[in-house]
Structure 1
Amino acid sequence: MNFENEPYLSRLPEDKTLCVYNSSSLIFSNSGKWLMPLFELEKFLKIYLGPKDNLCAHDTAVGKAAAVLMARMGIKKIHADIGSRLAERYIAELNDGVDEKEKISFSCGIKVDRLLCATEDLFESLYDSDEMYMQLRRRARLVQGVEARVENISSNYGFINDLSFTVPAGGRLMVAGENGAGKTTLLKILCGLIRPKSGEVFIDGKTPSLLPKRTIGYIPQQTDNTEFSLSVEEVVSLGIGRASVKNREAVIRRSLERTGTLGLINRSYFSLSGGEKQKVSLARCLAQDAKLLLLDEPTAALDAENRKMVTDILHSLSVSEIPTIIIVTHDKELLKMHGWQTLVLERPGD
């Protein structure tokens, strides 16, 4: 092998555990342990403006977890000083039926059945890349969400009586129930818009009134009778704290791109369809880096295409940023989403 043409195969510098190239140009290196260099690489690639059409990586050790992360980042050539057969098998499965130019190559100096770490054992029988990615971020404590804890609350509105539950940081909860059972009331209590008659609510260990601004992103039900004389750009900017004008513009654009609404940036918010409003509202929550998302019937009155778009955005959020998400819904398709807790509120006599 000609190392001059394949520099990622060269020996790692003594003080580095990961080097990443685009073709022959070194673009990133790190000296961290475990999978943290790969998470740092992920952050770097989000802001890196140079070419990344032929990413190649050399890592000290690559097990299945590292292979999952590298594949998600679009790395096409992977070399490890020590590589596991679990990683090799995972990459072979990804390559099955894929065009030659999209395949990932994997090589290693020493091959072992598995790396001696708990993550390797955990992932042996897992195949869903989103599930594995989410678990890795949790193990690395890269979870944006906060714990939401409800203790014995009752309300003068709806039929909430002595209700208790806990959603862990980064957890996902669907709240279902008949009209009038108190689902919307529950969201308003969680975000501090109304107080419970009795009981306590703690978000990240604090009552809602004591939370830092923008901890909670609340998206109420869409209504057709409320007019906002604001542009889409202005609505999304409402979620941003004190940042430079340059940073504000970048955050707004990234949030709109993430929700597929950048083309609406100069439109009046009031002129948008229901689905467009929901996606722009989600962009606002993204811009504010909300740690707890409260969504009231996010797919109500939307057509099938827009329901799918909103559902896909929620899934992407729950896998990557991992905020805590609580959704009120009647949507049977949403209620079928994998990995969500479910809470059913009932009216007396139901």
Structure 2
Amino acid sequence: MAVAPRVRVDGVGKRYEGSNGPVQALDGVSFDVADGEFVCIVGPSGCGKTTLFRIIAGLEPATTGRVVLDGDRVDGPSTDLGLVFQEYHLFPWRTVAGNVGFGLEQEGVATAERERRVDELLELVGLDGFVDTYPRDLSGGMKQRVALARALAVDPGLLLMDEPFGAVDAQTKKMLQDELLDIWRETGKTILFVTHDVEEAVKLADRVVVMAKEPGRVREVVDVGIERPRERSDDAFGATYQRLLDLI
């Protein structure tokens, strides 16, 4: 019997009323993400990647179509969906532990269990020595690790990430990519990752959803099919990178 996908994006369209009339931002976007799969979404500026992210996250409604997560239609924000943005959105008045444990507090998790879970996650992201540190004293890469730990805290079915490494330098970006792959392998999470960086998509993804614009739509879904770890200097990496660029 076929296994249902973790995520199904089914004919999603989005129309806005613009100053010069209606604007079709997305049209008939459809793809599935299997349980435990790492899928990247890439495309040119203006193809609706961020709009699609917001619809999948339940932050705004689709005009047509639907998003289904674990068999349930997404009609708004859900604790079964962990969100990580390019901007860290950490609470400056809370410590690292306080930020990571916020969602658990909202769910009424007992203090002892919450502290155990926070300690476990901070060890997972390599910040176990920064429990009582405030965001102002962290580097950009460390802040993003806190944001990732916070998203994982409530054990969501899907980790949805929008350009999460876009604001850090190249060296930190590579380190965070490697750490994310380690966390993905260790947790078995399903990850849907939006990026404008084609090289990043080839390095991270099992499959890449390539979008076209005017209106935003799926042009092709590419199976990367390269054994990890992947290096830019490998012939297969270069060929896949060029194929994605040609599609975009």
Could you state the TM-score of these two structures normalised by the residue count of structure 1? Answer: 0.53
Tell me the C-alpha RMSD between the 2 structures.
2.6
Task: Give the CA deviation at 1:227.
Answer: 6.3
Find the counterpart in structure 1 of residue 222 from structure 2: none
Instruction: Output aligned runs, 1:134-153, within 5 Å.
Output: 147-153=6-12
Offset of residue 292 of structure 1:
0.2
User: What does the per-residue CA deviation read over 1:52-111, in whole Å, with 9 as the maximum and x for residues that have no partner?
Assistant: xxxxxxxxxxxxxxxxxxxxxxxxxxxxxxxxxxxxxxxxxxxxxxxxxxxxxxxxxxxx
Secondary structure of residue in 1 paired with 2:181: helix
1:260 and 2:126 correspond? yes
| Residue of structure 2 in register with 1:279 after alignment | 145
Give distance in 1, aligned partners of 2:114 and 2:9. 34
> Structure 1: which amino acid aligns with 2:111?
V
Superposed counterparts of 1:1-350, under 5 Å:
147-156=6-15, 159-209=25-75, 213-222=78-87, 228-240=92-104, 241-337=107-203, 340-348=206-214
With over 3 angstroms needed to count, the CA separation of the structure-2 counterparts of 1:195 and 1:210, relative to structure 1, is closer
Shift in CA distance, 151/216, structure 1 to aligned 2, threshold 3 Å: same
Separation in 1 of the partners of 2:55 and 2:99? 24
The answer as to whether partners of 2:152 and 2:159 remain within 8 angstroms in 1 is no
Q: Distance in 2 between matches of 1:314 and 1:166?
A: 21
1:153, 1:198 within 8 Å by CA — same for their partners in 2?
yes
Distance 1:334 1:149, change over 3 A: same
In 2: Cα distance, 1:210 partner to 1:222 partner: 21
User: Aligned partner of 1:234: which letter?
Assistant: G
Instruction: From the superposition, tell whether residues 338 and 231 of structure 1 become closer, same or farther in structure 2 (CA, over 3 Å).
Output: closer
**d(CA) in 2 for partners of 1:306 and 1:146?**
33
Deviation at 1:223, TM superposition (A): 6.3
Q: Identity percentage over the alignment?
A: 32
How far 1:338 moved relative to its partner?
Answer: 5.8
Q: What is the CA deviation profile of residues 117-169 of structure 1, one whole-angstrom value per residue up to 9, with x for unaligned ones?
A: xxxxxxxxxxxxxxxxxxxxxxxx9xxx9611011111136731111111111
> What is the identity, as a one-letter code, of the residue corresponding to 1:344?
V
Gaps of 5+ in 1: 1-140
What amino acid is aligned across from residue 75 of structure 2 in structure 1?
S
The one-letter amino acid of 1:216's match is: L
How far 1:331 moved relative to its partner?
2.6
Deviation at 1:326, TM superposition (A): 0.4
Number of corresponding residues: 205
**Quick check: 1:269–1:277 contact (8 Å CA) kept in 2?**
yes
Q: CA deviation at 1:229?
A: 2.5
Larger radius of gyration: 1
Q: Do the aligned partners of residues 263 and 206 (structure 1) sit closer, same or farther apart at CA in structure 2, a change above 3 Å counting? A: same
In structure 2, give the amino acid aligned to 1:284.
R
Alignment partners' CA distance in 2, 1:195 and 1:174: 21
Matched residues in 2 for 1:183 and 1:297: separation? 10
1:276 shift after superposition: 1.4
Following superposition, the deviation at residue 334 of structure 1 comes to 1.8
Runs of 4+ in structure 1 displaced over 3 angstroms? Answer: none
The superposition leaves residues 28-60 of structure 1 with CA deviations (integer Å, 9 ceiling, x where unpaired) of xxxxxxxxxxxxxxxxxxxxxxxxxxxxxxxxx
Residues 151, 163 of structure 1: 8 Å contact kept: yes
Contact 2:59/2:76, CA 8 A, preserved across alignment:
no
3-state DSSP of counterpart to 2:40: strand
Give the letter aligned to residue 263 of structure 1.
Answer: G
